[in-house]
Amino acid sequence: MTREIRPAPPNETRKCVICERPFHCRPNEWAHIFRQRRTCGRECGHLLAARTRTYLRTKRCAQCGKAFKPREASNKYCSLQCYWESKQGSQGHIPDGSRVTLTCIQCDTLFSTTRYNAKHGRRFCSRTCYYSYMSNAGDPNHIARNTTNAFYLSKAWTQTKRRIRRRDNYTCQRCKRKLTRTSKGLRVHHIQARSVFVKARDSLDAQADIDANLITLCTPCHGKVHSGLPLTE
């Protein structure tokens, strides 16, 4: 049984409702009522949409106070710029502008930051002031000052972790799982626990924090090792 091949219907010639120029319309563009093409191109299509667009009653912009006609009842701003200004400058202590000047709550120095960081609670000029504030025993919001927390918040330990991960090629030394440099699933583990070394305090220790005592593990393997499983599978 042979299948009959029907010829494709011819193109239809229409006239643009904006510029009144004739254009050819393929059958798949005018077969359905919701896909009927009425303009010759994109520019005329935008003009037609602007003419036929319906607006609601005029209201005031919640940011700049300018009168505008919203397309939906939920629209509160006249433009996208006013929307972002309302999001970034909603708090009273954040002035207008691309950057703001704040006072560090640790050293009382002025520092510049973006409005986004200021809105989301940046209070320190540097990481050093943050560590000093969090380890200050006189502050009610301090981190308990013990060997573990104070050391793992130090800048020296952060640099050590980066060096060990780079040395191990960002690969878990137990399951051989390879991760990326920016991945948060890598942990630097002390083969011999740091609590064993009595002299290990809030800074790097010459015996506890040497490279031979440090190893890179992924988060699942790090939990397994701390639960009592060996370093090798």
- Degrees (nearest 5) of the Cα angle 59, 80, 66? 30
CB 114 within 8 A of CB 96: no
Q: What is the pLDDT of residue 173?
A: 92
What's CA 101's distance to the chain center, in Å? 23
Structural domains in the chain?
12-52 (no CATH), 59-88 (no CATH), 97-145 (3.30.60), 159-226 (no CATH)
Which one, of 141, 143, 113, 136, lies nearest residue 126 by Cα? 113
| pTM higher than the cut 0.85 | no
> Does the pLDDT value for residue 3 go beyond 80?
no
Q: Among candidates 34, 32, 30, which has minimal Cα distance to 9?
A: 30
**Lookup result for tokens 């000029």:** 125
Higher pLDDT, 205 or 161: 161
Segment (H or E) for 25? strand 22-25
* 3-state DSSP assignment of residue 209: coil
More confident position, 187 or 114: 187
- CA atoms in the 13 A half-sphere facing the CB of 79: 7
Give me the pLDDT at residue 48, please. Answer: 86
Residue 12 host element (H or E): strand 12-15
Q: What average pLDDT score do residues 107-124 get? A: 84
Q: Which residue has the tokens 């920016």?
A: 182
Contact of 142 with 134, CB cutoff 8 Å? yes
- Residues 6 or more apart from 49 whose CB is under 8 A from it? none
Range with the largest mean pLDDT of 22-36, 140-154, 199-213: 199-213
pLDDT at residue number 169:
92
Condensed to tens digits (0 to 9), the pLDDT of residues 134-157 reads: 766 444 444 444 344 567 777 888
Higher pLDDT, 111 or 96: 111
Amino acid at 69: K
Q: How high is the pLDDT of residue 137?
A: 44
What is the spatial distance between Cα 130 and Cα 133, in angstroms, rounded to a whole number? 5
Q: Is the dihedral of CA 24, 29, 31, 35 positive or negative?
A: negative
